[in-house]
Structure 1
Amino acid sequence: MVAEKSSSELPLVYSCSGCSNIAQLANQVAVELDRENIAEMSCIAGVGGGVKSLVKKAKSGREIIALDGCQLHCVKSCLANHGVESTYHFTLTEFGIKKRYRCDFLAEDVVEVKRRVVGDIKNSL
């Protein structure tokens, strides 16, 4: 039997959660990584807003997975404003998914993006 890692041993995952389909896709992938005990989701809005406890967590030295929806790179910028660089950075539009407003992401895109993110992380170990 393999013991599950405690949340403090997992990488942190931050996601875009803006108003487009791709932003909400990034958020859903982060939620699933958290629920599957692959990463611990933390709040990028709190980091961007300078909430001390959340900035401290971001600066803790844990590995960070940053999931940006598009080339605006809001997650990357929020972290950089506090001198933090992610260990892994993904821009979901680079996976060939088109950014759209006022529409939902596709369930199959969640599966594919999560597969690619987890695969890329495992391949870098």
Structure 2
Amino acid sequence: MLKTESPEKPLVYSCSGCSSAAQMANYLAIKMDREGIAEMSCIAGVGGNVKKLVRTASSGRKIIAIDGCPLACSKACLGNHNISPDVHFELTKFGVGKKQHHDFDLEEAGRVLKEIESHLMLQAL
């Protein structure tokens, strides 16, 4: 498990839409938060222009964005405030299927989380 020792952990944002891929993105961000890899913040608050949450996103901390599909909603919400993530993951590029009215596969999520952690270690984020 990758654990950030810096007091300024990177922020992680994810989409949390209705598809299986979007729900996996949200699950991965929660796992990263709970495991101490990053601090999850609320992309809905950024998209909704909630001042405190926009300030957090604009604070200069490193940002990880996880989106379930090419629509890239979390990246777009950040972009509405001229914020670009330092690293962006789109789960369909990891072979994750986007299915409506289905839950994501927990085993597949574990595999994707390991791939994301490996990528972050290489980026030294």
TM-score (norm 2): 0.93
Identity of paired residues, percent?
A: 53
Quick check: 1:18 aligned with 2:8?
no
TM-superposition CA deviations, 1:87-120 (whole Å, max 9, x none): 1100001111110000000111111111111110
How far residue 5 of structure 1 moved from its aligned partner, in angstroms, is: 3.7
Instruction: Work out the CA distance in 2 between the residues paired with 1:124 and 1:42.
Output: 21
**Correspondences of 1:1-125 after superposition (within 5 Å):** 5=5, 9-125=8-124
Q: Give distance in 1, aligned partners of 2:5 and 2:54.
A: 23
Unpaired runs of 5+ residues, structure 2, are: none
Tell me the SS of whatever aligns to 2:17. coil
Alignment RMSD: 1.2
Letter in 1 for 2:82: G
Q: Distance in 2 between matches of 1:71 and 1:26?
A: 12
Task: Tell me which amino acid in the other structure corresponds to 1:76.
Answer: K
Letter in 2 for 1:36: E
For 2:8 and 2:116, the matched residues in 1 are separated by 19
Query: How far apart are the structure 2 equivalents of 1:52 and 1:75?
Result: 17
1:27 Cα deviation (Å)? Answer: 0.3
Counterpart amino acid of residue 37 in structure 2: I
5+ residue gaps, structure 1: none
Distance in structure 1 (CA, Å) of the matches to 2:73 and 2:42: 13
TM-score (norm 1): 0.93
- Equivalent residue of 1:104, what SS? coil
